[in-house]
Amino acid sequence: MKKKMGLLNFIGVVMVLKFLVYFVLFFTGDCDLVLWWYNKFNKNLDTFKGKVVWITGASKGIGEQIALNLSKHGTKLVLSARSKDKLYQVKNRCIEISEGMLTANDVLVLPMDVTHLSKHISLFDNVINYFGKLDILINNAGRSQRAVWEDIEIGVDREIFDLNVFPIVNLSRIAVNYFNSIGHGQIVTTSSIAGIISAPNSASYNATKYSLHGYFGTLCQEKVNTQIHVTLLCPGPVFSNFLEDSFTAHSGEKYGITQSSTDNRMSTERCAHLSCVAIANKLRESWMAKFPIIPIVYFSLYYPVLSYKLYELYGYKLAQKLRDS
């Protein structure tokens, strides 16, 4: 009987310590617990050396910073976005920051408008013809939105899906077919915390991110026992021009409001670093955001009824403030 009580007491102490560790991490960490563990103890970033990685939306923001981060580890890069000039600026920085590991031939600038789906196959062929292979595709192109639900024109819904969803799915299917033929590969897609819990005033954007989780959640299940891996990156508020370029309720309009330097946002450099750790360790889904976003996500997922009651008490204005400032 004493041995049994001793074992129960030991289990109780372990559970209390586990809770305390979780509590501290919730209030001090800037990512989910699994990603925190890998970033702390097993980054694996040296595995990028010699791999060929294609990044869309690579001319600025998170995409640019991921490219810079990978270049430090000798990764051969394909950089895509609409602006050729900006891509060459990123290329030059990648070569410089690689400290001799990369030459001009190791970074391919491949301008593209991802919404031109008919060109995806020929662009993919360009990558394979140039490097002879592709190891990782990082889908990073996309735009956010700020608009009241009932004011959104249906044309805006179509435009956002035509940018944030269909190009990613189309290019990824081409890549997966190629990965099937060689027996390995990785699809990485930049989603959002808004693809896990809905954010106010972004209905169309939220819907595109939820769609990505549906598409790539299915792909992950279908490839679970293969060497083809799927990673969803879910950043929260990040310092970039994402807010200024956001869709609104009306077609052809941009939100136009810039962020403040005092906003509670994660830096693009930190977001890119955590993203690279998630990619290197082939994590299924990774969240990254400054406090209090990560605890809110955990609470909303595991205690949805209570979280909705709190939302009723404090309203969407607090949620909007947490998101945009």
Taking 90 as the threshold, does the pLDDT of residue 139 lie above it? Answer: yes
pLDDT in tens, 63-92: 999 999 999 999 999 999 999 999 999 999
DSSP states along 212-241? HHHHHHHHHHHTTTSSEEEEEEEE-SBSSS
Q: How confident is the model at residue 18 (pLDDT cuts 50, 70, 90)?
A: low
pLDDT in tens, 21-75: 766 776 778 999 999 999 999 999 999 999 999 999 999 999 999 999 999 999 9
CA nearest neighbour of 72 among 49, 91, 55: 49
Domains and CATH numbers, the chain: 31-290 (3.40.50.720)
pLDDT in tens, 230-250: 999 999 999 887 778 899 999
What is the value of pTM for the model shown?
Answer: 0.92
134 φ, ψ to 5°? -140, 130
Taking 60 as the threshold, does the pLDDT of residue 2 lie above it? Answer: no
Q: Enter the tokens of residue 224.
A: 């679970």
Residue 266 DSSP symbol: B
Cα(first)–Cα(last) distance of the chain, in Å?
Answer: 57
Q: Enter the tokens of residue 233.
A: 């990156």
Catalytic annotation, residues: 205
- The residue count of the chain comes to 325
Burial label for 311, CB within 10 Å (0-12, 13-18, 19+), is middle
Cβ count near 121 (within 10 Å): 12
Matching residue, tokens 């990782």 = 136
Q: Which amino acid is at 251?
A: S
CA nearest neighbour of 76 among 46, 103, 51: 51
